[in-house]
Amino acid sequence: MKIAVVGTGYVGLVSGTCFAETGNHVTCIDIDAQKVEKLASGIITIYEPGLEKIFIRNLNEKRLDFTTHLEAGIKDAQIIFLALPTPPGEDGSADLKYILGVADQLGRILNGYKVIVDKSTVPVGTAEKVKTTIATNYKGEFDVVSNPEFLREGVAVDDFMKPDRVVIGTNSEKARKIMGELYAPYVRQGNPVIFMDEKSAELTKYAANSFLATKISFMNEIAQLCEKLGADVDMVRRGIGSDERIGKRFLFPGIGYGGSCFPKDVQALIKSAEQAQYDFKILKAVETVNENQKLHLLPKIKNYFQGKLAGKHFALWGLAFKPNTDDIREAPALYIIKALLAEGAIITAFDPEAMHNVQQQIGNAIQYAKDQYDALQNADALIIATEWNEFRTPDFDEMIKRMNHQTIFDGRNLFEVKTMHDKGFYYESIGRP
């Protein structure tokens, strides 16, 4: 098939590349000429494990190309994916200006039947708005479909190529047939393509992310209660996670969730509920718990240093909101940095992928280390904010040599409490004695 993908951000670039990988011809369109030039010359603009290899292969085999020209890019396409930003507005609702702006342009340039697909995470009713916007200027036949993405940063290529499910919202038999053919190569193992109406598909995306965010915040509340009662959250997690109705995933306590999806989607669903005159109490609590959890380590740190953080030197391992990405949107590490700097602390950070993004955002307010051990030099304490695999089995003897004090505040529970105490570390984590 010939496909156009409008938007070359995270979702657009992963989707376009993975569609090309199964033999489709994909044209990716973006207004950022500098980004398009980089991509067309083989320079990938995001960090995602496994993506670069198939990106280069499909670029070389002429199945993937890039342009800034919308009309030329969509001219021969059977399907047009809209993978555009939906940032939160001032009131928390998803801002649809980019999607509706492109829809307006499409209405002026469509040259025959096409399936226009909302791939971005959008509020319920967006497909109708897109259809109305296009129809204002285009009187020919077309369909608008909702096809939400369920990509996890760090494993997005696997998620796309072998999805748990594909959700397609359409009431058009013609669009249903085309979308079914497009996704057939990705569900050969029998995972379902679930067809539904557009509104249900739009809500499914928000419901999925909000439920996962709820599990995280619930477990962080349990961790806080464990600290009050002297219980061990790891034992509780294993006890409840073995129940197949609950499952083992998203039960690991920590310093909150971040990224481009969960915070924005929870906020947007709360706002959508308000607009429908429904008070979504659980999600409001999820959001509040998460905001507080990002700074859960701060009282522990202040208590240890008797409230005197000015001049103290902290090593920080991890800046990305999660491992295997360079995404720092709503990253708990940034909240910790801001709070410590306000207390007059000095911070030296290391992250395998996200340091450049942090430096672009906050400049040289902190120091950046060449590796995880360099960050520890003369540190009064180590704070762990992201659970990168390379942090899980460090050289503890090297750590002891480098640090002023053998003190660790672990926001991701990477190490066993007894092991750390046996090695002579003062060690505090989340929800464990």
Considering 18, 28, 226, 261, which one is annotated as catalytic? 261
Residue indicated by tokens 């522990």: 300
Q: CA-CA distance, 233 to 253, in Å (whole number)?
A: 8
Amino acid (one-letter) located at 367: Q
- Which 8-state DSSP code applies to residue 95? P
Q: Which token pair is 143? A: 């369909």
Sorted by sequence, the CB contacts under 8 Å of residue 111 that are 6+ apart come out as: 75
Using an 8 Å Cβ cutoff, are 127 and 203 in contact? Answer: no
Question: Do strands 426-428 and 2-6 pair parallel, antiparallel, or not at all (unpaired)?
Answer: unpaired
Helix (H) or strand (E) holding 411: none
List strands edge to edge, sheet with 407-410. 367-368, 346-350, 313-317, 381-384, 407-410, 426-428
Residue indicated by tokens 């993937």: 64
Nearest CA to 258 among 150, 366, 160, 386?
386
Amino acid (one-letter) located at 47: Y
Amino acid (one-letter) located at 253: P
Instruction: Give phi and psi for 339, each to the nearest 5.
Output: -65, -40
Q: Which token pair is 313? A: 């030197």
Using an 8 Å Cβ cutoff, are 13 and 45 in contact? Answer: yes
Using an 8 Å Cβ cutoff, are 22 and 160 in contact? Answer: no
SS3 annotation, 249-306: CCCCCCCCCCCCCHHHHHHHHHHHHHHCCCCCHHHHHHHHHHHHHCCCHHHHHHHHCC
SS3 annotation, 130-182: HHHHHHCCCCCCCEEEECCCCCCCCCHHHHHHCCCCEEEECCCHHHHHHHHHH
Q: CA-CA distance, 93 to 88, in Å (whole number)?
A: 5
Residue 28 among the catalytic residues: no
- Which 8-state DSSP code applies to residue 217? H
CA 280 to chain CA centroid, nearest Å? 23
Using an 8 Å Cβ cutoff, are 271 and 124 in contact? Answer: no
Catalytic residues: 261
